[in-house]
C-alpha cells in the first residue's frame, strides 16, 4: 500500500501541513483579482522572446521584429492552451485519488491543489479566449507506451510534476519581464506563486511513490519507467511547437517550419534549459537511469 510509505514519513506529513497552511494564507479570488483589458496591443511581446520557439534559430533571422511579436502572440495563446489541457488532466487524476485508499494523508492538500488548479485553468482559458479567440487543441501523445499498471500512480504524479516544472520555467521568467504587458506578467506571476507549492509537494510525493515501487521492481521495469519519462519530457516540450500557431501568425508552410525548428540545435538547448532542474532531480532520485 502507498500509505505504508506515506503515513510513516514524518517529514512528508510536516510538509503537507505547511503547504496546506500556505495555501490558506495565500488564497485569492481570481474572479476579482484580474482586470481584463478589452484588447492588448498588437505591437508588443506577448511572450519573452527568449522563450519563443524561434529564438536562437536561423529562422528567426528571416523575420522582422513585428513578425516575431505577432508570432509571440499566438505562441503565448498556445502556451496557455497547453496549461488548460494539462490542468484538466491533472485534475482528473488527482480527483480520482482524493480520499481513496493509500492517499488518505495528502487528501487535505489535494483539496487546496484541486481548487487552485481549477482557478488556474479558468484564468488561462480567459486569456486564450479574450486575446486569441480560441483554445488550441492538445497534441496527441505518440510513442508513449505506459509501463505496467503497478507504476500508474507514480507515472501520474511524475507527469504532473514535469508539466508543472515546464510551465513554471516560463511563468517565473514572464512574471518578471518588464517588456510584457502587465496582464501577461500578472497571470504568470500569480501562477508561479501557486506552482511553487505544487512543485514542492510533487517532488516529495514522487520520491515516496518511487521508493514504494522500487523495492519490488525489476531492473528492466525501472528502465522502462526511465525511458517513458524521458520520452514524456520531450513530448511535453515539443508541444510548444504547434504548426497551427505558425499558420495563424501568417508563416508559409507551417508544418515545414515546425519540422525545421524541432531539428534545430536551438531546440535541444532550449529543452535542456527548461528541464535543467527537473532532470537533475530525476537523475538524483534514480528515476532517470
- Domains defined along the chain, listed by start: 2-285 (1.10.620.20)
Measured distance CA(242)–CA(162) in Å, rounded: 19
Residue partners of 153: CB distance under 8 A and separation at least 6: 2, 97, 102, 209
Averaged confidence pLDDT in the chain = 94
Measured distance CA(56)–CA(266) in Å, rounded: 6
Nearest to 84, CA basis, from 30, 35, 120, 47: 120
What is the percentage of the chain residues whose pLDDT exceeds 90? 90
Nearest to 118, CA basis, from 30, 190, 37, 186: 30
Q: What is the pTM of this model?
A: 0.94
Does residue 143 surpass a pLDDT of 70?
no
142 — pLDDT class (breaks 50, 70, 90):
low
The residue that leads in pLDDT, 256 or 215, is: 256
Measured distance CA(53)–CA(30) in Å, rounded: 29
Burial class (CB in 10 A: 0-12, 13-18, 19+), 185: middle
Amino acid at each position: 500500500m502507498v500509505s505504508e510509505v506515506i503515513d510513516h514519513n514524518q517529514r512528508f506529513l510536516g510538509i503537507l501541513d505547511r503547504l496546506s497552511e500556505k495555501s490558506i494564507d495565500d488564497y485569492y479570488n481570481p474572479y476579482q483579482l484580474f482586470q481584463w483589458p478589452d484588447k492588448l496591443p498588437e505591437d508588443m511581446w506577448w511572450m519573452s522572446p527568449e522563450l519563443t520557439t524561434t529564438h536562437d534559430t536561423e529562422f528567426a533571422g528571416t523575420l522582422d521584429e513585428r513578425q516575431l511579436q505577432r508570432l509571440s502572440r499566438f505562441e503565448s495563446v498556445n502556451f496557455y492552451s497547453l496549461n488548460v489541457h494539462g490542468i484538466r488532466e491533472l485534475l482528473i487524476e488527482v480527483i480520482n485519488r482524493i480520499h481513496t485508499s493509500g492517499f488518505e494523508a495528502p487528501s487535505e492538500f489535494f483539496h487546496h491543489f484541486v481548487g487552485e488548479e481549477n482557478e488556474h485553468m479558468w484564468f488561462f482559458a480567459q486569456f486564450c479566449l479574450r486575446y486569441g479567440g480560441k483554445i488550441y487543441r492538445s497534441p496527441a501523445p505518440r510513442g508513449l507506451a505506459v509501463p505496467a499498471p503497478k507504476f500508474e500512480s507514480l507515472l501520474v504524479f511524475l507527469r504532473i510534476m514535469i508539466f508543472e516544472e515546464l510551465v513554471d520555467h516560463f511563468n517565473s521568467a514572464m512574471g518578471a519581464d518588464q517588456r510584457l504587458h502587465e496582464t501577461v506578467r500578472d497571470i504568470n506571476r500569480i501562477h508561479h506563486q501557486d506552482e511553487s507549492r505544487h512543485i514542492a509537494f510533487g517532488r516529495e510525493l514522487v520520491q515516496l511513490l518511487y521508493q514504494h515501487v522500487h523495492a519490488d521492481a525489476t531492473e528492466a521495469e525501472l528502465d522502462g519507467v526511465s525511458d517513458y519519462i524521458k520520452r514524456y519530457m520531450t513530448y511535453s516540450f515539443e508541444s510548444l511547437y504547434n504548426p497551427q500557431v505558425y499558420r495563424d501568425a501568417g508563416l508559409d508552410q507551417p508544418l515545414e517550419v515546425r519540422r525545421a525548428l524541432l531539428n534545430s540545435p536551438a531546440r535541444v538547448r532550449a529543452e535542456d534549459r527548461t528541464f535543467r532542474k527537473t532532470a537533475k532531480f530525476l537523475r538524483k532520485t534514480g528515476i532517470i537511469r
